[in-house]
Amino acid sequence: MSINGYDIIGDIHGHADALEALLVKMRYRFIDGCYRHPDRVVIFLGDFIDRGPKQRQVLNIVMPMVKYGGSKSVMGNHEFNALAFHTPDPSAKGQWLRPRTDKNISQHNAFLNEYLHSDRKEELENVLDFFLSLPIWLELDGIRVVHACWEQHHVDALGSSQLTPELLVKATTKGTVEYNAVEALLKGVEHALPGGKTFPDKDGHSRGEVRIKWWVKQDSKLCDIAMPPGVLDDTDLKDQIIKAEDLIGYGETNKPVFIGHYWMSAKNGPSLLADNVTCLDYSVAKGGKLVAYRWSGEQKLNELNFIY
C-alpha cells in the first residue's frame, strides 16, 4: 500500500462509539477484521483505557488495526500505569509496581470491571502484552509522536523506545534515570508551585506541581504556561515568572510533534499549540471531542487538518 499520510488520533479512554464514528468520517472501512484506509494510516496517541464505558470494544478495534492493519500507536500513561498495576513488585512480596491504593483502583476501575472476570484471564494477558509492545515514542519521516512531551535528553537517556519488563521496574522506581524519563515523556513536565501552594486537578486531587507548556522557551508567567490552559486562573500565581532557562523549548525547525494527554477544551474547535506542536486530547471522556489530525507531509501544521 502506498501511504499518502497519517491520521493521528488523540486519547480515547474507552469511548468506542466516538472512535468508530471518527474512523468512518475519515473514510476508513472495516475490511478483513479491522478498519483500513486505501492510502492512509492511523497513529494512536495511547490512553485507550480507563474512564469511559467501552474499554474492551475500544481495544477490539485498536488491536487488530495495529497488529494487522498497518496502524501504529505509542503508549499512553494509562497503558503504562496498567502494566505497573498488574505486575508484581520483585522487591516487595505481595506488592505491585503500581500500588493498589484506593486512588489508583478508582482510576483503573472501568478497565477492571471489564477484564477482571474468570473467563477473561487470557484476554487480559493478551491486552497487557499488547500494551507492552507499544513504543514510548515514534520518530518517523517527517513527524514525531509521543503521549505527553518530547524532551530530547530523556529520549536519549532511554536509547530505545521499547518498554521491557526490566525497564518497567526501573521506570516505576523513583529517583532512577528511567523513572524521570518515562514520567516526562508519558506524563509531561511539571513545575513546583511556590510557597507550598496547591490547586485541585480535574479529578479533585490536590497538587503542588503543575504541568507546563514544555515547548515554550521564553520568560513566561506560570499561569500562561500551565497545562491545561486555565488550570491556575483561580489562583494567586498570575505574576509568578518562569525564566526561559528553566524551560525545555522545542525548536521551530524541528519536526512536527503530536501529543495527547492534556485535556484540552474544544469549545471553539481544536487549535495548534505552535506551528509544529499540537495536542489531540480534547477531553472526550469529559464530554469533549475525539480529535484527529490528518497529516500529509507539511512541516507547518494547519488547523484546517483537524477532524472530529
For the chain, the helix, strand and coil percentages under 3-state DSSP, each to the nearest 5: 35, 20, 45
Could you tell me which of 236, 276, 219 has the C-alpha nearest to residue 253? Answer: 276
Q: What is the pLDDT of residues 114-151, one digit of tens each?
A: 998 889 999 999 999 999 999 999 999 999 999 999 99
Start and end residues for every CATH 3.60.21.10 domain found in the chain:
6-185+251-307
Please return the burial class of 255, using the count of CB atoms within 10 Å of its CB with bins 0-12, 13-18 and 19+: middle
Asked whether the beta carbons of 281 and 78 are under 8 A apart, the reply is: no
Q: What pLDDT, on a 0 to 100 scale, did the predictor assign at position 1?
A: 64
Long-range contacts of 220-223 (CB under 8 A, 24+ apart): 220/244, 220/247, 222/191, 222/193
In the chain, the largest separation of any two C-alpha atoms, in whole Å, equals 58
In the block, residue with C-alpha cell 498495576: 85
Q: What is the pLDDT of residues 14-41, one digit of tens each?
A: 999 999 999 999 999 999 999 999 999 9
In the block, residue with C-alpha cell 515523556: 185
Please indicate whether residue 239 or residue 287 has the higher confidence score (pLDDT): 287
Per-residue pLDDT at 48 exceeds 80: yes
The HSE-up count of residue 120 (CA atoms within 13 Å, CB side) is 11
Q: How far apart are CA 285 and CA 48, in angstroms?
A: 11
Q: What is the CATH number of domain 6-185+251-307?
A: 3.60.21.10
Average pLDDT over residues 165-193: 95
Q: What pLDDT, on a 0 to 100 scale, did the predictor assign at position 80?
A: 98
Q: What is the pLDDT of residues 60-102, one digit of tens each?
A: 999 999 999 899 999 999 999 999 999 999 998 999 999 999 9
Could you tell me which of 295, 304, 303, 296 has the C-alpha nearest to residue 9? Answer: 295
